[in-house]
């Protein structure tokens, strides 16, 4: 028969044995030949700077890639995406859902794209296909790699060390952050600040310039030859047509027709007739979706 005190003692010993076994397992895991180790800081002050690295996207070197452990998605900004080769831009697909901010606001990206992203320290290398959301925003960064990218690329970032470690086939790689403080716009001096302003021309000088180049200016609608739908720039065709990009998730809104006053209606009809005669505009075949015209008087009364 086991007394209550003996049972408690044995129970404590059993719990202590389990705890020691777990500590032993952790110790073995920590003392393996390779692992994600960060050195002691010592006298160095811990860093609080953002982690910025360089990555390669389909053989294109991309600077200012920001590692954000608080982001649930990976982002490529529009200004970076537009500089990618056409073969990469053609991979863009429609977005599957909106992005949600800290305060709960929703913003729809311009699309999504699957890209092969490579990180390397010169010896170790890792490439993974990441699903990036294309975002239009004035950001100093080109790409933001969030938690999904860190999970797929098996990265362990350390802000205080300014180091990112990652797992590769050849072992553990280390990349040091290349962050540099971004100067505020007020601290940046423009090149033309020291250039004296160009004096304004008088009306007589402007009229003389127009008369000297009378064949350049369009004095009437008939003088406007228009812009061809396709131009050839550096031996490659460039489409000049403008198309509105629509999001499939946005419901179309039909504006109600608004009438113009008599004076504005007469002026609008006169302008439309001249544009029709010159061949600049044509009659619309879908009048339901045309926006109401907004007429504003010019400074010269036109």
9 assigned to some structural domain: no
Which residues, in sequence order, are bridge partners of residue 223?
none
What Rg do the C-alpha atoms of the chain give, in angstroms? 32
57 assigned to some structural domain: yes
36 assigned to some structural domain: no
Q: In this predicted structure, what is the pLDDT of residue 54? A: 92
Supply the CATH number for residue 164's domain: 2.40.70.10
Instruction: Report the 10 Å Cβ neighbour count for 128.
Output: 15
Q: In this predicted structure, what is the pLDDT of residue 9? A: 45
3-state secondary structure of 80: helix
132 assigned to some structural domain: yes
CA distances from 106 to 76, 100, 132, 140, 187 (A): 17, 5, 17, 22, 33
Q: Give the neighbor-by-neighbor strand order of the sheet with 171-176.
A: 155-158, 163-168, 171-176
User: 164, 156 in Cβ contact below 8 A?
Assistant: yes
How far apart CA 84 and CA 77 sit, in angstroms, is 11
Length of the chain counted residue by residue = 302
3-state secondary structure of 30: helix
The domain containing residue 61 runs over which residues?
51-176
Q: In this predicted structure, what is the pLDDT of residue 12? A: 46
169 assigned to some structural domain: yes
Written as one string, the DSSP assignment of 86-148 is: HHHHTT-B--SS-EE-TTS-EE--SEEEEEEEEEE-SS-EEEEEEEEEEE----S-SEEE-HH
Residues ≥6 apart with Cβ < 8 Å to 290: 284
CA distances from 111 to 81, 132, 147, 280 (A): 11, 9, 20, 33
Give the count of domains, the chain: 1
DSSP state at residue 171: E
Q: In this predicted structure, what is the pLDDT of residue 183? A: 47
152 assigned to some structural domain: yes
64 assigned to some structural domain: yes
Tens of pLDDT along the chain (302 residues) come to: 334 344 444 444 444 443 443 333 333 323 345 566 777 777 778 888 899 999 999 888 999 999 999 899 999 999 999 999 888 888 899 888 888 877 778 888 999 999 999 999 999 999 999 999 999 988 899 999 999 999 999 999 999 888 999 999 989 999 999 887 654 433 334 444 555 666 777 888 888 887 888 777 777 777 776 667 777 877 888 777 777 767 777 777 777 888 888 888 888 888 888 888 887 788 877 777 778 888 887 777 66
129 assigned to some structural domain: yes
How far apart CA 150 and CA 165 sit, in angstroms, is 10
């Amino acid at each position: 028969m086991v007394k209550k005190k003996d049972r408690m003692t044995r129970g404590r010993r059993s719990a202590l044995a389990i705890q020691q076994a777990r500590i032993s397992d952790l110790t073995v895991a920590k003392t393996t030949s390779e692992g994600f180790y960060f050195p002691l800081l010592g006298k160095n002050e811990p860093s609080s700077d953002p982690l910025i690295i360089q990555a390669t996207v389909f053989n294109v070197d991309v600077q200012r890639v920001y590692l954000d452990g608080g982001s649930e998605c990976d982002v490529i900004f529009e200004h970076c995406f537009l500089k990618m080769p056409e073969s990469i831009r053609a991979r863009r697909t429609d977005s599957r859902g909106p992005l949600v901010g800290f305060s709960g606001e929703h913003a729809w990206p311009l699309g999504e794209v699957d890209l092969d992203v490579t990180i390397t320290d010169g010896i170790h290398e890792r490439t993974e296909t990441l699903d990036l959301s294309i975002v239009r925003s004035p950001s100093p960064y080109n790409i933001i790699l969030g938690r999904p990218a860190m999970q797929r690329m098996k990265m362990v970032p350390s802000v205080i060390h300014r180091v990112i470690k990652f797992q590769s086939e050849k072992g553990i790689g280390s990349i040091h952050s290349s962050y540099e403080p971004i100067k505020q716009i007020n601290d940046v001096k423009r090149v033309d600040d020291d250039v004296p302003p160009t004096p304004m021309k008088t009306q007589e000088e402007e009229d003389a310039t127009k008369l000297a180049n009378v064949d350049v200016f369009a004095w009437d609608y008939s003088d406007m030859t228009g812009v061809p739908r396709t131009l050839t720039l550096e031996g490659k065709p460039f489409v000049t047509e403008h198309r509105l990009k629509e999001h499939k998730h946005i419901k179309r809104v039909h504006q109600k027709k608004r009438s113009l006053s008599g004076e504005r209606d007469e002026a609008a009809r006169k302008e439309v007739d001249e544009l029709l005669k010159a061949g600049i505009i044509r009659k619309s075949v879908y009048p339901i979706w045309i926006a109401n015209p907004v007429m504003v008087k010019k400074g010269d009364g036109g």
